[in-house]
Amino acid sequence: MQTLRRDRETDPGAHFFFNRLRVPLSNLTDPNKRVKPSDFAGKPQTPGFAARKIAADLLGNVVHKRRPLDNELDLNSGHSGFRELAFNDRALVRAILGVCLRHRGEIAEIIDRLLDRPIPEKSGRVLDILHVGIAQMLFMEVPDRAAVSLAVENASADRRARPYKGLVNGVLRRLGREREALTSDLDRAALNTPEWLLESWTQSYGAETAKAIATAHQSEAALDLTIKDGSSEVWAEKLGGTVVGAGSVRLVKKGAVDKLEGFEEGAWWVQDAAAALPAKLLGDLRGKRVADLCAAPGGKTAQLAAAGAEVTAVDISKGRLKRVSENLSRLKLSSEIVTSDIREWEPEAPFDAILLDAPCSATGTIRRHPDVPWLKQLYDVETLSKIQGELLRRVIGWLKPGGVLVYCTCSLEKAEGEDQIASVLAEVDGIELIPVTADEIGGLAASVTEEGYLRTLPCQPVTKAGDETGLDGFFAARIKRL
Ligand SMILES: C[S@@+](CC[C@H](N)C(=O)[O-])C[C@H]1O[C@@H](n2cnc3c(N)ncnc32)[C@H](O)[C@@H]1O
């Protein structure tokens, strides 16, 4: 789900949010510029106000209305106020929201400590405004004075929040004075992770690893690229990156993705180092017929096509498949593209190999999608795991005898990974597990389980030498049809 992100590629400002959260604010705010989105047309604007107002609105939309952040930030169909902002303000909004969501639990705890009594329900955006103000004061090197006055102005501009502008002022000023006392004893990893998730990871991986996962989520993911022709060393050198995982290039350089060397010519695409591993498990694909099921936005489709396979990419979403076509066209790769629900679609002939990247809770992508913990619930995992089981059982039958299927999900929940494979192996005849080996995935031994599954965790090493960590959480298993 995280691969080949269109917003990164079409909105260069997106890069600052996804790749460099602690970008100096001088890069993002132009103090001489007055931003005028149409919602405030005609009213004089304090520099930086529009960005804070939109940030508070969007935060509310994500956490109260449960709207995915990516949808809100979409430059074609997202929040209109956001779309009207200037480039630098959009980057600032992304940065503020990234911090607000990553630190949501601890900011909420700080607000609790600062308030004598809860803020009444009908107080407009006042809580979101406080979150946005605190995020800037504690994590973004914004001078307290600026963060406080913009928050007060924001409250004044909201009819329902207006009566609380004095409270906003008092609370934020007190935080400025008592910062150390109010923040030094916070258990950040626990506070910033919903209880059900921390419990699930503790049960699956133990308390220490669960905490390490939660801690890894506090930092933004690096920008990893998959190199079309596999010449990772060459592109690492050209782009000033390092080779990680099984041949991904991790970038340390700042800059807009579409301005980097190789983008126009289609030499690489954006794909987390862990997301690039499942397709590797299908081995040599030259001349083979391969189904990429649940294909959009197409990171794995590109891998399969670049490996020489004749690919059929199927996805239920027409809009997301459009991105597959656009991405493949930039990369000068090709695939048959089918818009269909794979619960209904039937292939004309069986495949040599299948990659099923099933829809999941995406809890493995929290570093790059910090809204996920506040959008998803245990219920989503339960619902999605039923669909995963259904899809897996159906598509196994589409393999030729001797054909291989890789099932994967970008989830940390065992219900969406290990448990699915264990039950399918127990229930379906004529299949066997082909264990994954560390050699196939760049020597990442810590990411291979005793059963022979691929299981990456955000806190794990991403190099064989173990000198760098940080991966999306992925599960993959390989099954052969006998
Ligand atoms: C995890 S994303 C796939 C990411 C993709 N494989 C990649 O590497 O870029 C899951 C995809 O499954 C698709 N999907 C969900 N349910 C489906 C169904 N019943 N049939 C086909 N596609 C489905 C979604 O539209 C979504 O694009």
160 and 302, same domain (yes or no): no
Q: Alpha-carbon distance 159 to 156, whole Å?
A: 7
315 assigned to a ligand binding site: yes
314 and 450, same domain (yes or no): yes
Decide: 343 in ligand 1 pocket, CB within 6 A: yes
Structure tokens at 126: 């006042």
Please determine, for residue 9, whether its predicted confidence score (pLDDT) is greater than 90. no
Does residue 218 sit within a domain? no
Residue 410 annotated as catalytic: yes
The count of other CB atoms within 10 Å of the CB of residue 344 is: 8
278 and 180, same domain (yes or no): no
Please determine, for residue 15, whether its predicted confidence score (pLDDT) is greater than 50. no
Query: Which among 186, 209, 239 is the end of a domain?
Result: 186
For the stretch 90-125, pLDDT in tens is 999 999 999 999 999 999 999 999 999 989 888 999
Atom of ligand 1 nearest to the CA of 343: 19
CATH of the domain at 78: 1.10.940.10
Which one of 294, 331, 363, 387 would you pick to mutate in the ligand 1 pocket, going by the greatest count of ligand atoms within 8 A of its CB?
294
Atom of ligand 1 nearest to the CA of 410: 1
Structure tokens at 183: 């923040």
Tell how far the Cα of 314 is from the centroid of ligand 1, in angstroms: 8
Tell how far the Cα of 294 is from the centroid of ligand 1, in angstroms: 3
Instruction: Name the percent of the chain lying above pLDDT 70.
Output: 90
Identify whether the C-beta of residue 419 lies closer than 8 Å to the C-beta of residue 400: no
Query: Which among 186, 205, 231 is the end of a domain?
Result: 186
Decide: 315 in ligand 1 pocket, CB within 6 A: yes
Least Cα distance to 248 among 279, 282, 219, 217 occurs for 279
The sign of the CA dihedral 242, 248, 252, 256 is: positive
Query: Which among 167, 186, 205 is the end of a domain?
Result: 186
313 and 421, same domain (yes or no): yes
If you take atom 15 of ligand 1, which residue's CA is the nearest one?
359
Range(s) of the domain holding residue 322: 272-481
Does residue 232 sit within a domain? no
Q: Alpha-carbon distance 36 to 59, whole Å?
A: 20
Burial class (CB in 10 A: 0-12, 13-18, 19+), 75: middle
Q: How many domains does the chain have?
A: 2
The DSSP string of 145-164 is HHHHHHHHHHHHHSTTTGGG
Tell how far the Cα of 204 is from the centroid of ligand 1, in angstroms: 25
If you take atom 4 of ligand 1, which residue's CA is the nearest one?
1
For the stretch 211-262, pLDDT in tens is 999 999 999 999 999 999 999 999 999 999 999 999 999 997 667 899 999 9
Name the residue type at position 27: N
For the stretch 442-467, pLDDT in tens is 999 999 999 999 999 999 999 999 99
Where residue 430 falls (left for φ over 0; alpha for ψ -120 to 50; beta otherwise) is: left
Identify whether the C-beta of residue 473 lies closer than 8 Å to the C-beta of residue 365: yes
Least Cα distance to 448 among 471, 410, 477, 408 occurs for 477
Least Cα distance to 404 among 304, 333, 325, 328 occurs for 304
Does residue 40 sit within a domain? yes
DSSP strand pairing (248-251 vs 223-227): antiparallel
- Report pLDDT for 45: 72
Tell how far the Cα of 356 is from the centroid of ligand 1, in angstroms: 9
For the stretch 115-169, pLDDT in tens is 999 898 889 999 999 999 999 999 998 999 999 999 999 999 999 999 999 999 9
229 assigned to a ligand binding site: no
Atom of ligand 1 nearest to the CA of 298: 9
Does residue 92 sit within a domain? yes
Decide: 296 in ligand 1 pocket, CB within 6 A: yes
Q: What is the residue whose two structure tokens read 């196994």?
A: 396
CATH of the domain at 450: 3.40.50.150
Structure tokens at 13: 């400002």
